[in-house]
Amino acid sequence: MSQAETVVGGEPSRFLRAAQLFTLTTSVALYAMTITIANVSLPQMQGALSATQDQIALVVTFNIVATAVTTPMTGWFAARFGRRRTLIFAMGGFTIATLLCGLATGLTELIFFRFLQGACGAPLAPLSQAITLASYPKAKHGMVTSIFGMGVVLGPVFAPTLGGFLSEAYSWRWVFFMMVPLACAAFVGILVFVRVRDDTGAARLDWTGFLALALAIAAFQFMLDRGERAAWFESTEIILEAVLAGAAFYFFVVHILTSDNPFVNPRLFLNRNFTVGLLMTLIFGMVNFTPMVLLPTLLQSLKGYPDSIIGLLLAARSCGTLLGFIFMFFANKADPRIWVVCGFSLQAGAGLAMAGFDIHVTTFDVAWTSFVQGLGVGFLWVPLTLITIGTIPTKDLPSASSLFHLFRNIGSSMHVSLSIALVIHMSKVNYAQISEGVSAFAESWRYPWALGGWNPDSTAGLAAIGGEVRRQAAMIGYIDAFYFYSFTAMTVLPLVLLVRWRKTAP
């Protein structure tokens, strides 16, 4: 599709291009805000809805899973209804779902509305990215991607801070209510400025492939979310979910390789950069949101921090991401492999620094490590986009972009669930080990000087000792999760050697 064909009436004006870029960037920024802003209030939601740590994590993971399941349908939506109509429907549904999240009266309702929010918002990122890239020549894709990505992180920079103050002053519901007017403005912007020509028709959707993939993702995610609570493979439920996920995925792979009109075009994977880029994007998704889910519960449950302070600390990460995007705006012409190595190395280093936290961790420690982690994210968005999608023909951009965001979202939901399970499991293991040392039968309890200020001779004293043991055990669980996070970030580095890169001619 030529550049002139992307807008009705011929060549788009510079103003229309800029207005379209701003509108689409704002739309995707709003969806990104719903993830970061909700994380700030997770501890408050947990208390208000009487949920456990793994249950409240479903508010994040189900939103991401809905996005992952719906994202691959974006290409069919665009072919069947047109990109503009799909954007209008997606933003309208996203706005309504966001309002319903704020009105939810129970955990089940909130999880369902968050799932609906993710499903409706899923087409926003791939369609906005595809329309933006199709509107500019390839020589300007690096610059446009930097602007697009920079705008996307502006929302998450301010969202945690504002959301933290609102939830502390009013309630967690306001982290959703504040989004509704902004979503309405983006909806109007799409109606006015997004003008693309689409050849719509009776496009076929490979329902067999779609349902197989959706079933595989959903079953696998349920297994991860429920695994620790159900004792993993000691539970019949977990075994059935694992078998169902494996069988559905196997059926999906066989189907797309043998079908005449598959849900996912397998020929895209013959592009070496695209395949390697998707693997790196999967790992990028894994390390993207995990600290933002772990840190709020750590800071409030173990340190007693208010939501407003947690919001400020999460904003430090977004500030680092913004700085990374600003830097990439000027450095996007360089070999993207360099920035992939830098970005993942920064995240691995931040993870190791977080693994050095103890129960006396300070706000400065959290702020600077979050900033470094965010800086790594900012370095990665542009080069990963260029590596994965840069060599894909324009006609295949919607499908390729959908897979790009699918892998990113699957990585996020999977790693968040595994990290939460690791924290819970290791907290129980560490509690059992530490308890042996503070037992009334322990040798050290014979010496009063070894007890310090603790008093084991009263019920209150025993309760205080038990609470401290739980706190220390949970802290070690978080440390183990940060080590896991750092190791995940480092696994991508060998993949960089498989990328072939040739500088695009101006």
Give me the DSSP letters along 345-380. Answer: HHHHHHHHHHHT--TT--HHHHHHHHHHHHHHHHHH
Cα separation, 72 vs 65, in Å, equals 12
Give the pLDDT band of residue 445 (cuts 50, 70, 90).
Answer: low
Give the pLDDT band of residue 3 (cuts 50, 70, 90).
Answer: very low
pLDDT in tens, 385-397: 888 887 888 777 7
- Give residue limits of the domains in the chain: 4-205+263-429+473-498, 206-262
Q: For tokens 């400020």, what's the residue?
A: 312
What local confidence, expressed as pLDDT, does residue 46 receive?
A: 83
Cα separation, 170 vs 175, in Å, equals 10
Cα separation, 135 vs 125, in Å, equals 15
The encoded tokens of residue 137 equal 């020549």
From 41-45, 202-206, 225-229, 428-432, the region with the lowest mean pLDDT: 202-206
Model confidence at 9: pLDDT above 70:
no
CATH topology of domain 4-205+263-429+473-498: Growth Hormone; Chain: A; (1.20.1250)
Higher pLDDT, 338 or 79: 338
Q: Average per-residue pLDDT in the chain?
A: 82
From 95-109, 438-452, 492-506, the region with the lowest mean pLDDT: 438-452
Question: What is the chain's percent helix, strand, coil content, to nearest 5?
Answer: 80, 0, 20
What local confidence, expressed as pLDDT, does residue 60 receive?
A: 79
- Dihedral sign computed on CA atoms, order 34, 37, 40, 45: negative
Query: By the 8 A CB rule, do 321 and 146 touch?
Result: no
Cα separation, 278 vs 295, in Å, equals 27
- What type of residue sits at position 328? M
Report which of 147, 128, 505 is spatially closest to residue 330, judged by C-alpha positions: 147
Percent of the chain with pLDDT over 70: 87
Helix (H) or strand (E) holding 25: helix 14-40
Neighbour tally for 50: CB within 10 Å: 10
What local confidence, expressed as pLDDT, does residue 366 receive?
A: 92
Neighbour tally for 315: CB within 10 Å: 26
Give the pLDDT band of residue 505 (cuts 50, 70, 90).
Answer: very low
Q: 288-299: buried (b, 16+ CB within 10 Å) or exposed (e) per residue?
A: bbbbbbbbbbbb
* pLDDT average, residue stretch 132-139: 73
From 350-354, 426-430, 436-440, the region with the lowest mean pLDDT: 436-440
What local confidence, expressed as pLDDT, does residue 150 receive?
A: 66
The encoded tokens of residue 2 equal 């030529």
- What SS3 string covers 396-414? HHHHHHHHHHHHHHHHHHH
Report which of 319, 328, 327 is spatially closest to residue 371, judged by C-alpha positions: 319
Q: For tokens 């439920």, what's the residue?
A: 237
Model confidence at 222: pLDDT above 90:
no
The encoded tokens of residue 413 equal 């939901």
φ and ψ of 182, to 5 deg:
-65, -40
The encoded tokens of residue 331 equal 């450095």
Model confidence at 159: pLDDT above 60:
yes
DSSP string, 41-87: THHHHHHHTT--HHHHTHHHHHHHHHHHHHGGGHHHHHHHH-HHHHH
DSSP 8-state code for residue 99: H
Query: By the 8 A CB rule, do 499 and 337 touch?
Result: yes
Model confidence at 338: pLDDT above 70:
yes
Give the pLDDT band of residue 440 (cuts 50, 70, 90).
Answer: low
What local confidence, expressed as pLDDT, does residue 157 receive?
A: 63
pLDDT in tens, 87-103: 999 999 999 999 999 99
Cα separation, 151 vs 21, in Å, equals 10
pLDDT in tens, 55-77: 887 887 788 788 877 877 877 78
What local confidence, expressed as pLDDT, does residue 20 receive?
A: 83
Percent of the chain with pLDDT over 90: 22
